[in-house]
């Protein structure tokens, strides 16, 4: 991503600065004891960033706060226009304003989608290892998880289209082992393995889903974090037919580090699906809050320059952490991220049990990470490290891991 000369050094300074987040009720920093059993771990787990959001977003929130009246709020035409322009400008996808439904969080929206379109007992395809709230969202609605586990080939993950086809097949006369799926939940780019799915991979997936009448729900919250050499394709942009069988869930909250101000977007091109979703939404889901909405609008209106600078910094953090892990952490294999802010590290060559790996990271390295088994089948023996932090923090965390692993080998 090209960053204007001069802007880079200025913004690097911003991202290099260590901000003390303790005492702010930060899940990542203030709940270390609860999650890891000790509060002296360097937290590199929750997927938020350790730097302030863009100045434009902060200014918009401060201005709105000064108004002082914070009654019920609802996004209108101006917000629609900002969302439409963002997608068109950044990804060339023409979103019709009528397709947009605002929600207060991607995870709540996903739960609502599953509840609205999948009956208890029906199947939902997930592709583990995957962001763990997907499992709870499916289980909450009483539907059944159908696992289409990702396959690793030469250090890179791929989707298993053949297995997906098999999961969908219920017409060979035999009694199916599991119910055929009603829905498939995609994560693009994929948390935790960092794949940015190619157009070709998505087309193959969409062909199967269309043929078997499986609704495609895509969580694209990490879509702003794409590294050099990779292109993000919203699955709904493949064709009109795919769009009509899809729901895209996204939010600027990852890219602009505003997860504490939930405000998200569901893009639902099919009118019938959209009306059903809206009926369900009116019962439970709320519109974004006053400040969530301000943040979303400011990000999409004024945030692109800051975002591009942040991506340039993240590109370097990604390369630094990948290179460090490859060279300096014995036996551990990093999976090179194509997108997201997450490095997926394969600790399996160390041959540790789950508890031993946790002990090594928490009590020896003193680093707080997401453990692979949280992400379902295929995640055992891995850890996930969030590299959206100042380079010095990243280096410190990696050094700690390296030292702990060396003491073991």
Contacting residues toward ligand PLP, per CB under 6 A: 47, 105-107, 131, 187, 191, 219, 221-222, 251, 253, 259, 262, 264
Q: What torsion, rounded to 10 degrees, do the Cα atoms 19, 24, 28, 30 define? A: 120
Closest CA relative to residue 277, chosen from 404, 155, 85, 111: 111
Cβ atoms of 318 and 337 closer than 8 Å: yes
| Shortest Å distance, C-beta 169 to ligand PLP | 28
393-408 core/surface letters (b: 16 or more CB in 10 A; e: else): bbebbbebbbebbeee
96 DSSP assignment: -
What are the structure tokens assigned to 228, written together? 């050099």
Largest interatomic CA distance in the chain? 67
| Shortest Å distance, C-beta 388 to ligand PLP | 11
Task: Give whichever of 115 and 405 is closer to ligand PLP, judged by the CB atom.
Answer: 115
| Shortest Å distance, C-beta 350 to ligand PLP | 26
| Shortest Å distance, C-beta 26 to ligand PLP | 14
Task: Give whichever of 61 and 405 is closer to ligand PLP, judged by the CB atom.
Answer: 61
Sheet holding 382-386, edge to edge: 333-335, 342-346, 382-386, 370-371
Task: Give whichever of 49 and 54 is closer to ligand PLP, judged by the CB atom.
Answer: 49
Number of other residues whose CB lies within 10 A of the CB of residue 283: 9
Task: Give whichever of 127 and 308 is closer to ligand PLP, judged by the CB atom.
Answer: 127
| Shortest Å distance, C-beta 111 to ligand PLP | 9
| Shortest Å distance, C-beta 240 to ligand PLP | 26
Angle (CA) 184-191-183 rounded to 5° is 5
Cβ atoms of 254 and 279 closer than 8 Å: no
| Shortest Å distance, C-beta 265 to ligand PLP | 10
Closest CA relative to residue 101, chosen from 292, 277, 235: 277
What are the structure tokens assigned to 63, written together? 């201005």
Read off φ and ψ for residue 87, nearest 5 degrees. -65, -35
Number of other residues whose CB lies within 10 A of the CB of residue 25: 10
Cβ atoms of 144 and 121 closer than 8 Å: yes
Task: Give whichever of 113 and 329 is closer to ligand PLP, judged by the CB atom.
Answer: 113
| Shortest Å distance, C-beta 190 to ligand PLP | 8
Task: Give whichever of 51 and 131 is closer to ligand PLP, judged by the CB atom.
Answer: 131
Task: Give whichever of 108 and 402 is closer to ligand PLP, judged by the CB atom.
Answer: 108
Task: Give whichever of 83 and 168 is closer to ligand PLP, judged by the CB atom.
Answer: 83
């Amino acid at each position: 991503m090209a960053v204007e000369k001069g802007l880079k050094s200025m913004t690097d300074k911003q991202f290099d600065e260590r901000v003390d987040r303790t005492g702010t009720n930060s899940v990542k920093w203030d709940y270390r004891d609860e999650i890891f059993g000790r509060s002296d771990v360097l937290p590199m787990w929750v997927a938020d960033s350790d730097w302030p959001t863009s100045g434009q977003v902060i200014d918009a929130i401060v201005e709105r706060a000064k108004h002082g009246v914070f009654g019920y709020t609802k996004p209108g035409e101006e917000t629609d226009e900002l969302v439409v322009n963002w997608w068109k400008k950044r990804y060339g996808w023409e979103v019709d304003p009528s397709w947009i439904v605002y929600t207060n969080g991607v995870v709540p929206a996903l739960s609502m989608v599953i509840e609205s379109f999948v009956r208890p007992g029906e199947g939902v395809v997930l592709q583990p290892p995957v962001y763990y709230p997907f499992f709870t969202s499916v289980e909450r609605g009483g539907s059944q998880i159908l696992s289409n586990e990702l396959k690793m080939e030469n250090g890179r993950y791929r989707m298993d289209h053949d297995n997906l086809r098999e999961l969908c097949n219920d017409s060979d006369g035999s009694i199916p082992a599991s119910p055929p799926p009603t829905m498939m939940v995609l994560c693009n780019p994929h948390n935790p393995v960092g794949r940015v799915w190619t157009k070709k991979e998505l087309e193959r997936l969409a062909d199967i889903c269309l043929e078997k009448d499986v609704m495609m729900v895509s969580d694209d919250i990490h879509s702003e974090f794409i590294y050099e050499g990779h292109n993000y394709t919203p699955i709904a942009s493949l064709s009109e037919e795919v769009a009509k069988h899809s729901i895209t869930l996204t939010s600027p909250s990852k890219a602009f580090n505003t997860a504490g101000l939930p405000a998200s977007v569901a893009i639902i091109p099919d009118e019938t699906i959209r009306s059903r979703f809206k009926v369900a939404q009116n019962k439970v889901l709320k519109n974004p809050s006053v400040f969530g909405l301000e943040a979303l609008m400011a990000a999409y209106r004024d945030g692109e320059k800051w975002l591009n600078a942040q991506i340039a910094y993240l590109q370097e953090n990604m390369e630094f952490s990948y290179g460090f892990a490859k060279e300096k952490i014995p036996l551990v294999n990093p999976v090179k991220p194509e997108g997201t802010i997450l490095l997926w590290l394969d600790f399996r060559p160390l041959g540790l049990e789950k508890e031993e790996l946790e002990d090594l990271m928490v009590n020896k390295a003193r680093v707080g990470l997401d453990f692979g088994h949280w992400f379902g089948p295929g995640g055992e023996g891995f850890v996930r490290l969030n590299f959206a932090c100042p380079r010095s923090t990243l280096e410190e965390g990696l050094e700690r891991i390296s030292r702990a692993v060396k003491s073991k080998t």
